[in-house]
Amino acid sequence: MATETQRTHYRVTYVVLVAGVLAFALLQSLVAPVLPVIRNELHTSQSTATWVMTAYLLSASIFTPIMGRLGDMIGKKKVFVLTMIGLTIGSLVAALAPNIETMILGRTIQGIGGGVLPLAFGIIRDEFPKKRLHGAVSALAALMAAGGGAGVVLAGPINNSLGYTWLFWLPMIVTAASAAAAFILVPESLNRTRGRLSVLPAVALSVWLVALLVAFSKAPAWGWGSGRVVGLLVAAVAIAFAWVLMEKRAKTPIVDMNMMRQKAVWTNNLVALLLGVGMFAVFSFLPQFVTTPKSAGYGFSGSVTEAGLILLPLTVTMFLTGLISGRLVSRIGGKSTVFLGLLVSLAAMLLLTFAHTEKWELYLATGIMGVGFGLAYSSMASLIISAVPPAQTGVASGMNTNLRTVGGSIGAALMASIVTSNLRPDGLPKESGYTHGFAMLSTALVIGALAALLIPRQQKTTIPGQRKSVLQKTATAPAPSGNTAG
């Protein structure tokens, strides 16, 4: 096992982190395209089958900030290993599931892996040379985002050649190997936050997130004005308000509200929320558009595999852009890079809104969209890490990741409501539903670009950890210094 006196080389640590993050990213979306297959194989209804995705979303939204906070407190390596074990157990349960209830249980356990990205960011900040920090964070953030698209692309071929259970067996093999490798090779973090996890705020955080996400995920089916949806939204707001008060009074809060009030933090979180609205709705509804029969007057009668391939340009360009975004940040600054990314994403979304009669138009739009999402996603991760002390890296990046998830839930719910608001006699959505839906996502990106203008500006030459930036100077008091392997 790696010790504090002899640290593992940071490149070896990075390989372990990449494997774990990639497996989690794929699990987010691998299942979505084959839900009809799972529904038929496990003999359940469509509404029940959707809980295979909903349960995972709810569980991940709860565990992401909590696991990030635990990592800051008891050690990022320990908690990273726990997340990998959780993903492994959850995948095993889902792969062996004889019925839909067991499948949902497995997906709920997989949600423990929600903390993998903030924990990985924290380990990178502790272990990497200062000059390598931004590039590593940007690449990992881009990999996480691109993995969501890659899951949609790979789902069809894996299901067709091996069966849907291998959508869990393959990631399980990777997460089990990552857990063992992390235990043996990854050094334990020296930057810690003292105290215990506050139980009552953790419960309140879980309850308001569940209420909010269930309301948005079920609103298209239950109706936005239904008593259940309105009641859940009111409960979410009330409990969230109580949660903020609890966190302010807690000796060791899960989320430091003083940190959340920093302009560099709340502005990036707002952008993350709006970016999530656009990004995850495209992952969900563009493949659905492609599989629509041509008899509807639009769509391409595509298979699950063909629908996934539409997102391949987005996946590739998002990852490649993330690899080079560090150089762009050093030239024009993180704020400008996020703003540019949102503008490019907006241009692609508008193209998708008005030009979707030919497949090449979709490939072009998703390729451009990947560039925009890659710039914004990867740069935002570095800005958040720059704004907080090392001992708060996990919880700060965890909340930022969580808000993208919440945004994704909101975007998917709004898109579903718009697409299904005007159906044809045969039950298929009219083309105007998709046009209006993509226009709505464009509006979210416009607001996101305006929000990006509020992000405090960094010096162009500043790289997180290399030198105290404007953002770091406004952060809370620094934590005790730890190791930064060089």
25 found inside a domain: yes
Higher pLDDT, 412 or 86: 86
Predicted confidence at residue 4, as pLDDT, reads: 44
Q: Work out the average pLDDT over 403-428.
A: 84
125 found inside a domain: yes
**Residue 296, pLDDT above cutoff 90:** no
256 and 245 fall within a common domain: no
342 and 366 fall within a common domain: yes
How many other CB atoms are there within 10 angstroms of residue 176's CB atom? 18
130 and 204 fall within a common domain: no
Which of 251, 272, 287 lies at the terminal end of a domain, its last residue?
Answer: 251
pLDDT over 90, % of the chain: 33
- Top-confidence range, 231-245, 291-305, 469-483: 231-245
481 found inside a domain: no
243 and 284 fall within a common domain: no
pLDDT band, very low/low/confident/very high, at 469 (cuts 50, 70, 90): very low
Q: Work out the average pLDDT over 210-229.
A: 88
45 and 162 fall within a common domain: yes
Predicted confidence at residue 328, as pLDDT, reads: 83
Predicted confidence at residue 236, as pLDDT, reads: 94
pLDDT band, very low/low/confident/very high, at 280 (cuts 50, 70, 90): confident
Q: Work out the average pLDDT over 103-123.
A: 89
354 found inside a domain: yes
362 and 380 fall within a common domain: yes
- CA–CA distance, 458 with 263 (Å, rounded to integer): 13
For the ranges 320-324, 360-364, 408-412, 473-477, the lowest mean pLDDT is seen at 473-477
Predicted confidence at residue 468, as pLDDT, reads: 41
CA 477 from chain centre, in angstroms, equals 28
Q: Work out the average pLDDT over 331-336.
A: 87
482 found inside a domain: no
Domain range for residue 458? 10-197+252-473
Predicted confidence at residue 230, as pLDDT, reads: 95
Q: Work out the average pLDDT over 123-137.
A: 80
**Residue 349, pLDDT above cutoff 80:** yes
**Residue 460, pLDDT above cutoff 80:** no
**Residue 83, pLDDT above cutoff 60:** yes
484 found inside a domain: no
26 contact partners, CB below 8 Å, separation of at least 6: 147, 150, 151, 154, 171
153-190 pLDDT, tens digit per residue, is 888 899 889 999 999 999 999 999 999 999 998 888 77
- CA–CA distance, 173 with 446 (Å, rounded to integer): 41
Which of 189, 218, 251 lies at the terminal end of a domain, its last residue?
Answer: 251
325 and 219 fall within a common domain: no
370 contact partners, CB below 8 Å, separation of at least 6: 146, 149, 313, 314, 315, 316, 317, 318, 319, 321
**Residue 475, pLDDT above cutoff 50:** no
Predicted confidence at residue 485, as pLDDT, reads: 34
Alpha helices, H only, 165-294: 166-185, 199-222, 227-249, 257-261, 263-291
220 and 265 fall within a common domain: no
Predicted confidence at residue 481, as pLDDT, reads: 36
Higher pLDDT, 484 or 58: 58
Predicted confidence at residue 453, as pLDDT, reads: 94
Tokens 């043996």 sit at which residue?
Answer: 184
325 found inside a domain: yes
233 and 372 fall within a common domain: no
227 and 290 fall within a common domain: no
- CA–CA distance, 288 with 399 (Å, rounded to integer): 30
Predicted confidence at residue 6, as pLDDT, reads: 57
When divided into structural domains, the chain yields a total of 2
pLDDT band, very low/low/confident/very high, at 231 (cuts 50, 70, 90): very high
210 and 158 fall within a common domain: no
Q: Work out the average pLDDT over 298-326.
A: 85
Which of 251, 274, 292 lies at the terminal end of a domain, its last residue?
Answer: 251
Using the 8-state DSSP alphabet, how is residue 429 labeled? B
Q: What angle do CA 321, 23, 384 make, to 5 degrees?
A: 50
Q: Work out the average pLDDT over 249-256.
A: 80
3 found inside a domain: no
- CATH code, domain with 23: 1.20.1250.20
Predicted confidence at residue 436, as pLDDT, reads: 93
Predicted confidence at residue 359, as pLDDT, reads: 92
155 and 72 fall within a common domain: yes
Higher pLDDT, 327 or 235: 235
